[in-house]
C-alpha cells in the first residue's frame, strides 16, 4: 500500500532525460578509453554535494537496486548519520526523501557519472579551486567491486549531480499528490 507512495514513474522518465542533456559534453574527453559499469545491484555511491558558500549541503545516496535517498538541511545529521552534536542549533534542520527507480535506470546514472569523469584523476585546475567555495561533491562508494573515493569540482561532473538533485526536486510534488 505505502510502497507505491515513493515509486515515482515520472521521475524515472526524467532521469533518462537528464542523462541525455549532458551527453554532449563528453566529446571533449574522447581520448580516454570508455569504462563500462557493470549492471549490479551491489553498486552504490554516497554523494555529499556542497552547492557553495553559505548554502546547506545535500547528501545523495544511490543504490544499484534503484533506491535513491536525498537528505538536506543545516543539521550535522546531513553529513553524518552518527553525529552526536545534539546541542547544535540546527540539529532539527534535516529533511529526508526517497524514491525508487528501475535498477537499469540506476545503472544508467552510474554510467553517466563515470562518463563525466568520476573514475578519472581529479583535474588539477579545478582541485585548486575547491577551497574558494565553488560547488563540489565528495563521492564515496563501490562500482564494480572497486572502491570510489573522490572530491569532484569539475563542472561537468558536479553539474550532472546538481541536475540529478534538481530532477528529484521537480518530481517530488507529483508523487505527493498521488497519495
CATH, domain range 3-177: 3.30.1560
Write the Ramachandran bin of 145: left for phi over 0, alpha for psi from -120 to 50, otherwise beta.
left
pTM of the predicted model as reported, rounded to 2 decimal places: 0.76
Domain ranges in the chain? 3-177
Strand duo 44-50 + 95-100: pairing: unpaired
Beta carbons of 58 and 165 less than 8 angstroms apart: yes
Interatomic CA distance for residues 11 and 100, integer angstroms: 9
How confident is the prediction along the chain (179 residues), in pLDDT tens digits per residue?
A: 444 444 445 454 445 445 554 444 444 444 457 889 999 999 999 999 999 888 899 999 999 999 999 999 999 999 888 999 999 999 999 999 998 999 999 999 999 999 999 999 887 776 666 666 789 999 999 999 999 999 999 999 999 999 999 988 887 655 454 45
Amino acid at each position: 500500500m505505502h510502497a507505491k507512495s515513493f515509486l515515482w514513474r515520472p521521475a524515472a522518465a526524467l532521469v533518462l532525460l537528464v542523462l541525455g542533456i549532458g551527453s554532449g559534453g563528453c566529446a571533449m574527453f574522447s581520448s580516454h578509453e570508455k569504462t563500462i559499469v557493470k549492471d549490479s545491484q551491489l553498486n552504490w555511491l554516497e554523494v555529499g554535494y556542497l552547492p557553495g558558500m553559505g548554502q546547506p549541503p545535500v547528501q545523495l545516496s544511490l543504490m544499484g537496486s534503484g533506491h535513491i535517498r536525498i537528505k538536506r538541511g543545516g543539521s550535522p545529521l546531513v553529513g553524518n548519520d552518527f553525529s552526536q552534536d545534539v546541542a547544535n542549533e540546527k540539529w532539527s534542520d534535516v529533511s529526508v526523501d526517497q524514491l525508487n527507480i528501475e535498477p537499469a535506470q540506476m545503472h544508467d546514472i552510474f554510467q553517466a557519472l563515470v562518463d563525466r569523469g568520476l573514475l578519472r584523476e581529479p583535474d588539477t585546475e579545478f582541485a585548486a579551486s575547491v577551497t574558494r567555495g565553488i560547488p563540489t561533491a565528495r563521492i564515496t562508494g563501490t562500482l564494480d567491486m572497486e572502491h570510489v573515493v573522490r572530491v569532484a569540482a569539475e563542472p561537468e561532473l558536479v553539474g550532472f549531480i546538481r541536475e540529478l538533485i534538481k530532477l528529484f526536486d521537480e518530481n517530488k510534488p507529483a508523487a505527493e499528490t498521488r497519495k
